[in-house]
Structure 1
Amino acid sequence: WWKGSLKTRDAQGRYPNEAPWQCPTLPVGGPSLWLPCMVRAYTPPTERKKFYQNVSISQGEGGFEINLDNRKLKTPQAKLFTVPSEALAIAVATEWDSQQDTIKFYTMHLTTLCNTALDNPSQRNKEQLIRAAVKFLETDTVCYRVEEPTALVELQKNEWDPMIEWAEKRYHLMNGSSTSIMGPNIPARTKDTFTSHLASYNMWALQGNEYVITQLKSLILSMGLLDRHITVEKAVLLSRLEEEYQIQHWGSVEWAHDYDMYELRARTAAGTLFAHLCSESSTVKHKLLQD
């Protein structure tokens, strides 16, 4: 079934109703059961019984590898799971080591991102990744404003304007906001500036950045995170500003609201950490991460 699903990708190279390249694969020599990678809405996330005891990392010719009971982890396309930095390898190994009786793949965001970077299921190059990121400016969360109610208008102005002002000062550009359904008019110079800046990141870091952008629906908030200008908690709150306003006035489903908030924080934090670790050139000792 899993191999057959490779033939059903859409024009963007993704599977229908799928979370981006989420399913980790089995280690070499592990059980032969293939795991479904398609995650449909309102269905329980994929889990399976834990089949290993010990997790370790080792350095190979292509980088750092993950070992489950001395068996090497591989990607969904059966490539050797190899990451470029020791720090990232330790972080991924921690995801696998923290699993209990069952492996909850939907909690392993760093593993997901590594699989995406290694397999590149959509077959995009660096230029295409950058172009997709910059295109988010046209629908950026902090650039779309409401005209009413007045309280929400003021809230967006007070919370979102400082982020736009920061971006304009940080990247020496002009950006704007709009209440029109057509969105703001983004100057070509602004797009060129972001394109040039993103070109300084490697392919792995760009994958992490795109993951953050899709969570927050905002390139500006994503860049604020990568530049350590705002925290993950702040970025998530800003991305959900209108929703939080509505909840304060109309209430919410208690458990659902909290769950969505924590999930969004987890994914955003993982994407930010991934981008940072993939941008670091130096290795990090085990004790540094343990501390």
Structure 2
Amino acid sequence: MSEWKARRFWTATTVAEADDGFAVHLDGRGIRTPGKTALVLPTRPMAEAVAAEWDAQHENIDPLSMPVTRSANSALDKVHPQHAEVADMLAAYGDADLLCYRAASPAELAARQAEDWDPALDWAETALGVRLHIRAGVVHAAQNPDGLARLAAQVHALDDFRLTAFHDLVSLSGSLVLGFAAAQGWRDADAIWRLSRLDESWQEDQWGRDDEAHDASEVKRAAFLHAKRFWDMC
């Protein structure tokens, strides 16, 4: 038996102003999320991106071709009901940030980590008001609680849509600092993604590329770049 697929049922896709934002209409009717919430977007650029995704659908609707719509659905159906819990989970990355755990050896890897990651920690001290401290090895050592509280407050201050984007910027990179750096435009998103993959790149340089691991990383890279695009639409 073939799998049932939702079919295109509308002709015209338009953007209209709505209470607290912008709505996308299909033949004059507003879209709802899978959770039955009215899909109201915070900015016109985001609404126009959602409209373009719907307008590009052919006979069968392909949700995988609609990343902005899916992120907006997540903001309303998943992040909004548990905003505090999501913010707490992301803020916790600050206490075990990727950038803070350095190789004791080989010396070449340690030097590359210092060269590439120290500027991000320097940026965070200026932009976020917190200096995270470096540790050698992988054993957890807690950061200063006051600094973590300042970082957590900045995460909790994000609205539902920005927090949705921030979730992927942090969880995919493994770094709260890099998540903030990407969101705030410290460097372009692709350069920040490469910083998060420094250890993997080092391994490739030494032992050659694992094609399966590389392909998985490219999927994550695309998701990271989408998260930055979604953030910018907010």
Normalised by the size of structure 1, how large is the TM-score? Answer: 0.69
Alignment of 1:62-141 (within 5 A): 62-99=20-57, 103-120=61-78, 123-125=81-83, 127-141=84-98
Name the aligned partner's letter for residue 233 of structure 1: D
**d(CA) in 2 for partners of 1:59 and 1:52?**
20
2:231 is the counterpart of 1:265: no
Whether the 8 Å contact between 1:176 and 1:185 is mirrored in structure 2 is: no
The aligned residue for residue 153 of structure 1 is: 110
Q: Size of the alignment, in residue pairs?
A: 231
2:122 is the counterpart of 1:165: yes
Given the superposition, is the C-alpha separation of residues 219 and 107 from structure 1 closer, same or farther in structure 2, using an over 3 Å criterion? farther
- Secondary structure (helix, strand or coil) at the match of 1:247 reads helix
- Secondary structure (helix, strand or coil) at the match of 1:268 reads helix
- Secondary structure (helix, strand or coil) at the match of 1:228 reads coil
Of all paired residues, the percent bearing the same amino acid is 24
Whether the 8 Å contact between 1:95 and 1:108 is mirrored in structure 2 is: yes
The aligned residue for residue 274 of structure 1 is: 230
Alignment of 1:1-20 (within 5 A): none
Q: CA deviation at 1:95?
A: 2.9
**d(CA) in 2 for partners of 1:99 and 1:151?**
50
**d(CA) in 2 for partners of 1:99 and 1:263?**
22
Given the superposition, is the C-alpha separation of residues 166 and 121 from structure 1 closer, same or farther in structure 2, using an over 3 Å criterion? closer
- Secondary structure (helix, strand or coil) at the match of 1:183 reads coil
**d(CA) in 1 for partners of 2:92 and 2:211?**
35
Q: Which 5+ residue runs of structure 1 have no aligned equivalent?
A: 1-32, 36-47, 279-291
- Secondary structure (helix, strand or coil) at the match of 1:65 reads strand
Q: Which 5+ residue runs of structure 2 have no aligned equivalent?
A: none
Name the Cα RMSD after superposition: 2.6
Given the superposition, is the C-alpha separation of residues 171 and 60 from structure 1 closer, same or farther in structure 2, using an over 3 Å criterion? closer
The aligned residue for residue 248 of structure 1 is: 205
